[in-house]
Structure 1
Amino acid sequence: MSIYEFSAHTIDGELQPFSTYRGKVLLIVNVASHCGLTPQYGDLESLYRRYRERGLVVLGFPSNDFNQEPDDEATIKSFCARNYAVTFPLFAKIHVNGPDTHPLFAYLKEQQPGLSPDGEIKWNFTKFLVDRNGRVVRRFAPTDTVGAVERQMVELL
């Protein structure tokens, strides 16, 4: 199994196969608009703009698993554009924990369980770094800065 075998619906409802991202470095993040960490949207967008020409793609997955993303996709998309000028790909809302966990996030947690014995995501803005070969190489905590991610990510570009 690899990251390229998964697909997810974009925030506009289109099915996006992850094989589209073959050969790219991916930063996959569960995001939320009503969270103390929401300003990370701006940092993630800056990172994306700085490195997209070198092969980075940031992928944002809204989730209400922590009760901080109650809005629908249209509202989320508008909020991100208006407040953070987000241009990186956003996806439809998903579950990152529990029985309805999206298969992509089940795979990410299996590959990089983090410090938790059960691998569960503890909060919004958990970040997974995927190399150009589709291998999940690192998991970052929600409070890890984008600067910390960037140091690890640059080695993969």
Structure 2
Amino acid sequence: MHRYEVEVAWNGATTDYRSYSRNHEALAPDRPPLPSSADPVVGRGDATRWNPELLLVASLSECHMLWYLHLCTEAGIVVTEYRDAAEGTMDNQRFQRVILRPRVTITDPARADAARELHAEAHKRCFIANSMNFPVEHEPTITA
């Protein structure tokens, strides 16, 4: 079993729904504070800070990337760049889906098909994606 301890810290006064601050910090041992807030569209938060919805999409993207890089290393595929334009869609009550759009650069053009196929395996191994109750899709682009 693995444990992940996070503290969320807020202070202020909830005297009026419209006026209290949604700004807070996510804290974890030996890490810098993560300035957070509510989504400004649904929760009157600060658009310059991270919100739970963004963090969920980022977690899915990062988990996929880390598994993908691991699998490429095992397969002898050299990745020189990985960028993901991930997008989550949500209605008023829940996420409907997240689409990961990784753009991967590798050194050997002959390995492009193998590199593309490893995204399916990375998806299977991503424990965060496996914990979701909505589809997590991926649309990779491979260049060499």
TM-score bracket relative to the smaller structure? under 0.3
Flag the structure with more relative contact order, 1 or 2, with Cα contacts below 8 A and sequence separation at least 6.
1
Pick the structure with greater CA Rg: 2
Instruction: Name the structure where strand makes up a greater proportion of residues.
Output: 2
